[in-house]
Chain A
């Protein structure tokens, strides 16, 4: 079982600026001899799960990884994997034999029987997509030697959704863009990304809300370019957005430093004394604190502290730390108490 206390790779960044919070590379693959998961009968899903987990267990790239079948996990443990980004919402909420084969820090995971038989994903902090691609590519090559992928030389890797077919690659970056939001330029920047053909999603990816000024940007097409080119183009967009956010921060720090400091300290006041905090409210307030760290407004605060606080405030992490389940109202109270205690120890 993956321990809740281990910080996931995507939250292990220490850069105080942290505009690109994390990078992620995902490869979609299917086995040639089976129907895609949504079309499979239960016994076929079971067989696919067993074939893939046996193949992964015999390969060096997947040594010391933990295999979790969602069928055997409680709702709380499934939610934990989602919060750590070791599983997707579709995988957590699906049915039948499906699961993850993952390292403890979710740096490399296989998602089995999600929309496709296999989703290989590598996640790391900051802008590190090319390193992640190397990692995911090696795992894919090893796995592809053991298993029979569905592949056509003219089309590439065949996937359940035709928009993923080809490379099956999605390069995505989790961006934190609070200054663009505060200076009113965010909508224009995000609309520009859409017009250039990139997808913009919320904190937890597909189907999730925009919260705390976090956005995921990713490529949309699967064919027409090589993996390197897709990664390069999406990383270039992430770099440009970083430049825009950086300019907006400089403008904000120079022109409205006092107002920003007021906003940051008020956010700390609420986090210290609130009796109840929803996750959304916490993410929004801590977004302001991150900006305060980047501006050097609160010297005792660090990105590492805020990352750990974020992880601990997620519902399943909160419940596991307390050793009990909560109603959402109780969870909000427990979250507020936990955050207040942690903050009061350093401020």
Chain B
């Protein structure tokens, strides 16, 4: 515990870290002096609520809450599209989603057709695997560009290919 740097006698309860010209300075103030400097310390539930937290923290907190047992969530092992996303958007992420969400897709198609049988034009080239070399190049580019969110998503895709080569 430290005393307020402004008045010197009250206990500091507001701790600020200032970064200016690459120099980091720590400032410790009591509530009264912080107010005097125009620093609001009132906790706004909207600003400091769960919604304002970074998503991983929200997920960590959500994971701690007791939850009712739910049915297993389907996830496409190739592109990572999950049941919730598919329910919300009605859109699939890749060709492999047709394996992951087969039953649900059948039900949707049967709303518009009496049969699921395919009676259209045939195509002979079939499917091929996702291009891992391309993804690795993109991963390097994303890391170089410090786009870490994108890099993490590409890394997950490469991992999925390694785990499930036949899913692609």
Residues of A within 8 A of B (CB): 30, 32-36, 38-39, 41, 43-44, 47, 115, 137, 140, 144-145, 148-163, 165-167, 169, 197, 220-227, 229
Number of interface residues of B (CB under 8 A): 39
In the assembled complex, how far is the CB of residue A104 from the closest CB belonging to chain B, in whole angstroms?
A: 28
Partner of B138, one of A38, A41, A222: A41
Contact in complex: A155, B98 (CB < 8 Å): yes
A150 to chain B, nearest CB (A): 4
Q: Which residue of A lies closest to B150 (CB)?
A: A41
Sorted nearest first, the 3 A-B pairs with minimum C-beta distance are: A224-B113, A39-B93, A167-B120
Partner among B90, B113, B129, B141 whose Cβ is within 8 Å of the Cβ of A33: B129
Which of B94, B113, B126 has a CB less than 8 Å from the CB of A223?
B113
Write out the residue numbers on chain A whose beta carbons fall within 8 Å of the beta carbon of B48.
Answer: none
Q: List 22 A-B contacts (CB under 8 A).
A: A36-B92, A38-B89, A38-B91, A39-B94, A44-B138, A137-B121, A148-B126, A148-B127, A148-B128, A149-B125, A151-B123, A151-B126, A155-B98, A156-B118, A161-B91, A165-B109, A166-B120, A167-B120, A221-B112, A222-B109, A224-B115, A229-B119
Q: In the assembled complex, which residues on chain B have CB atoms less than 8 Å from the CB atom of A140?
A: 121
List chain B residues, Cβ under 8 A from A43.
138, 141
Q: Is B131 in the interface zone, CB < 8 Å from A?
A: yes
User: Are B119 and A225 interface neighbours, CB within 8 A?
Assistant: yes
Q: Which residues of B contact A150 (CB under 8 A)?
A: 94-95, 127
Given pairs A41-B153, A153-B118, 20 additional interface contacts (CB within 8 A) = A32-B128, A35-B94, A47-B134, A150-B94, A151-B125, A157-B120, A157-B123, A158-B92, A158-B98, A160-B91, A163-B108, A165-B98, A165-B105, A221-B112, A222-B113, A223-B109, A223-B119, A224-B113, A227-B121, A229-B119
Interface residues of B (CB under 8 A from A): 79, 81, 89-95, 98, 105, 108-109, 111-123, 125-131, 134, 138, 141, 150, 153-154
Chain A residue with Cβ nearest B137:
A43
Is A163 within 8 A of B112, CB to CB? yes
A153 contact set on B, CB distance < 8 A: 118, 122
> Given the complex, which residues of B lie within 8 Å of A197, measured CB to CB?
112
* Complex contact B91–A33 (CB within 8 A): no
**Chain B, Cβ-Cβ closest to A43:** B138
Residue of B with least CB distance to A150: B95
Please pick, from A33, A39, A162, A221, the residue contacting B131 in the complex, using a CB distance under 8 A: A33
**Nearest chain A CB to B88 CB, angstrom units:** 12
Tell me the complex Cα distance, A154–B120, Å.
10
B112 touches A220 (CB 8 A): yes
Nearest B residue to A27 by beta-carbon distance? Answer: B121
Would you give the shortest CB distance from A38 to chain B, in whole angstroms?
Answer: 6
Shortest CB distance A277–B (Å): 38
Which residue in chain B gives the minimum CB-CB distance to A144?
B123
Q: Which residues of B contact A157 (CB under 8 A)?
A: 120, 123
Residues from chain A with a CB closer than 8 A to the CB of B111 are 163
**Chain A residues, CB < 8 A from B116:** 155, 223-224
Q: How far is the CB of A30 from chain B (nearest CB, A)?
A: 7
* Of the residues A32, A160, A169, contact of B127 by C-beta under 8 Å: A32
CB-CB under 8 A for A158 and B95, given A33-B130, A39-B81, A44-B138: yes
Closest beta carbon of chain B to A185's beta carbon, Å: 26
Contact of A35 among B93, B98, B114, B118 (CB under 8 A): B93
Contact indicator A144/B108 (Cβ below 8 Å): no
Complex Cα gap A160–B117 (Å)? 19
Give bound CA distance, A221 to B92, whole Å: 17
Q: Nearest-CB distance from A116 to chain B (Å)? A: 10
Closest Cβ of chain B to A337, distance in Å, is 44
Cα-based distance from A38 to B116 in the complex (angstroms): 25
Contacts of B150 in A (CB 8 A): 41
Q: Enumerate chain A residues within 8 angstroms of B79, measured Cβ to Cβ.
A: 35, 39
- In the complex, A161 Cα to B89 Cα: how many Å? 9
On chain A, the residues within 8 Å of B138 by CB distance are 41, 43-44
Smallest distance from the beta carbon of A113 to chain B beta carbons, Å? 14
Contact B95 A32, beta carbon cutoff 8 Å: yes
For B121, list chain A residues within 8 Å (CB).
Answer: 137, 140, 156, 167, 226-227
Q: Which residues of chain A are within 8 angstroms of B128 by Cβ–Cβ distance?
A: 32-33, 148
Residues from chain A with a CB closer than 8 A to the CB of B120 are: 156-157, 166-167, 169, 223, 225-227
Report Cα–Cα, A161/B97, bound state, in Å.
11
The residue of chain A having its C-beta at the shortest distance from the C-beta of B91 within the complex is: A160
Residue of A nearest to B116 (CB): A223
